[in-house]
Amino acid sequence: MYDKPYHNDILNDKSFLITGGAGFIGSGLVEYLLKYGAKKVRVLDNFSTGSKDNIQQHFNNPHFELMEGDIRNPETCREAVNGMDYVSHQAALGSVPRSINDPQTSNDVNITGHLNMLVAARDAGVKRLVYAASSSTYGDHPGLPKVEEHIGKPLSPYAITKYVNELYGDIFSRTYQFHTIGLRYFNVFGPRQNPRGPYAAVIPLFVEAALKGEAPFINGDGETSRDFTFVENAVQANIKALLLPELKQHEVINIAFGERTTLNQLWEVITSLAGVQIPAQYRDERAGDVRHSLANIQKASNLIGYKPEFSVHQGLKLAYDWYAANLQQSAV
């Protein structure tokens, strides 16, 4: 992965803080930046959902620095941004069901932690902060494909937290002229996404089931659809947004592939990659889930020159091969 650069700038005079850099998307960014010679890549993570395994390949790299800490602590955020040119803020508690079970912790990490990072980055005068927003902000808006300016009511505490991130982004731009970019990710998947635990995402769960020869659960009738986005596309968007030379206001942009795949189609592709034929088991829809999701990615193309390079099929093949190699080692 990351065989092709998505930037024209020289990176060896630039330092980057990646919050949540031990997580799935954050560790992809770390890999990219170190591969292309960034002067410094600092990770701030408390390992609540991320893992040292995701970044340990860089521990001996002199350009890499690990800071174990929590974004809920403002002082930690200040220390983390110190000396950094760019901030990619990925740390948050993901998952709609997690936020339904424990809305307070999701609120503390995703809203207070986000605000702490905005204040710290503003005060340190960083050149750019890009943060992880979410397609969950579209909530109950029925329109498809989703365009940035038309959102509905949030359907979960998680969606509220991600919407509040955007509201703060807007206020920091208007009040302090600190302009940031929020990337509304649509179901990102790929190597290193955690298949374990009660809040695992659908693709790792399906791949793990296929590798074990088991039937996965599908919530609802399987015709629920998502705009599944391979992680390298999300990393490309982050790099382009971070290095965008000029920004006049807060911006929010959809980051997706721009194609809809149903859960039934997804299971079909994964079973064919695994060479098995197993019918899925169906159960009730999950609270807080939206029925369909599909992004219009025109704004991302216009604003930052985003052009997703990996289709869902290409991404699924890469993800499948990674899980097959890595999960089998740990005796699935």
Ligand X SMILES: NC(=O)c1ccc[n+]([C@@H]2O[C@H](COP(=O)([O-])OP(=O)(O)OC[C@H]3O[C@@H](n4cnc5c(N)ncnc54)[C@H](O)[C@@H]3O)[C@@H](O)[C@H]2O)c1
Residues interacting with ligand X, by CB under 6 A? Answer: 20, 22-26, 44-50, 70-72, 90-94, 109, 113, 132, 134, 185, 187-188
Distance CA 130, CA 84 (A): 13
Out of 6, 86, 158, 163, the active site residue is 158
Smallest gap from Cβ 56 to ligand X, in A, equals 13
Which of 37, 75, 78, 41 lies closest to 59, judged by CA?
A: 41
* Nearer Cβ to ligand X (276/322): 322
Helices (H), 213-291: 231-242, 263-274
Smallest gap from Cβ 155 to ligand X, in A, equals 14
Smallest gap from Cβ 134 to ligand X, in A, equals 4
* Nearer Cβ to ligand X (25/300): 25
* Nearer Cβ to ligand X (70/215): 70
Bridge-based pairing state of the strands 217-219 and 281-283:
parallel
Residue-by-residue DSSP string for 131-178: EEEEGGGGTT---SSB-TT-----SSHHHHHHHHHHHHHHHHHHHH--
* Nearer Cβ to ligand X (194/272): 194
The amino acid present at 254, given as its one-letter code, is N
Neighbours of 60 (CB within 10 A): 7
* Nearer Cβ to ligand X (23/216): 23
Distance CA 245, CA 138 (A): 28
Phi, psi dihedral angles at 211 (to 5 degrees): -65, -30
Bridge-based pairing state of the strands 64-68 and 40-45:
parallel
Smallest gap from Cβ 277 to ligand X, in A, equals 28
Smallest gap from Cβ 40 to ligand X, in A, equals 19
- Say which residue the tokens 């989703």 belong to: 146
The rounded radius of gyration (Å) of the Cα atoms in the chain is 19
CB contact at 8 A, 52 and 22: yes
86 assigned to active site: no
* Nearer Cβ to ligand X (107/271): 107
Distance CA 305, CA 288 (A): 32
Structure tokens at 53: 């395994």
Smallest gap from Cβ 221 to ligand X, in A, equals 22
CB contact at 8 A, 173 and 250: yes
Positions annotated as catalytic residues are 158
